[in-house]
Structure 1
Amino acid sequence: MTEQAIFAGGCFWCTEAVLKDVRGVEKIESGYIGGQVPNPDYRSVCTGDTGHAEAVRVTFDPNVVSYADLLRLFMVTHDPTSLNRQGADVGTQYRSAVFPLTPQQEQETKAVFEELGQQGVFGKPIVTSIEPATTFYVAEDYHQDYYANNPNQGYCMAVIAPKVAKLRAHYGEMLR
């Protein structure tokens, strides 16, 4: 039996790339969530006017990797202390957010945030929001598995590759 989790950590290409090789992750879809406009597309989301965040929907086997462990990996592979931005990507569409799909996920999210805050992992307060899970819209095909399909693209080399390298260096035991 699989479960799903939805995380927004700025660019969905980055979040997808860092979580896709985690043992127990069976599928990742890049998409949009949290906005008011039905059926958004990349161009409209990029304006910041739809209210959507770039996000990933992760399908995983909880017998192999827990929701809390996926959440911890998500948190340490982006900047959860930066409001409405990740690096050069600025706007609410690049916000750091978690969209719990069950009351248990919401409780676990709050517990992990408290744990990371008490440990002072980031040196600054976590600003990642916990938002109601609204409709998740799967992004256009060319956004799916973007890093794997475009490893030599400038953004991939400059922004995504260092995040993937950090994950491999610090959490290699959790990867396939």
Structure 2
Amino acid sequence: MASLGEKRRILLDEILSRDEDTKIIQWPKRAGVKIGLRLLSEGEMSEADCATREWAQGVGLETGPGRHRDNEFASRYASEVLCRALIHPESRQPVVVDVDDLRKRISRMELDLLTRAYNDFAREMFADPDALTDEELGVLVEELRGPFCEDRLLRCVPGTLRALLRYTVSRLPASTGSES
């Protein structure tokens, strides 16, 4: 029987073995202009999150759990992600120098549409949460433990959250029906 560490490596190997981690899309509202999207690694997503938190502290915004709901914070986080994810469609090289360069060059509407395109692409690339086995869900639950758990859960698509909830609830002890 494989250990939890081996199961994690197997699941990660399966995910990383996918060939298509980039997608070429039409730039929003600009006919004939193409841009590449590259799926970010967990490390790159963490870098985007840390950079957003540092920026927020620098401008006096709160950085605790739930700050993703603040429009300014969410916009900055989306910019941090896109700064890392946008690539030249042919060379696959980054197209912006840094997040400030990106924010100077694109409109809020473009930021929103590109963020939506990135999120849609990320959802396309990951398995249907209803198709995940109990073993895979158990591995995901273990991965979600620790700091920033709430932030990680907030990034999950609804189907994954439902699958994780079903898995977790199914492991709760059965109720005896009496209260003490």
Report the TM-score when normalising by structure 2: 0.27
Question: Which protein has the bigger strand share?
Answer: 1
The structure in which a higher percent of residues are helix is: 2
The normalised TM-score by structure 1 is 0.27
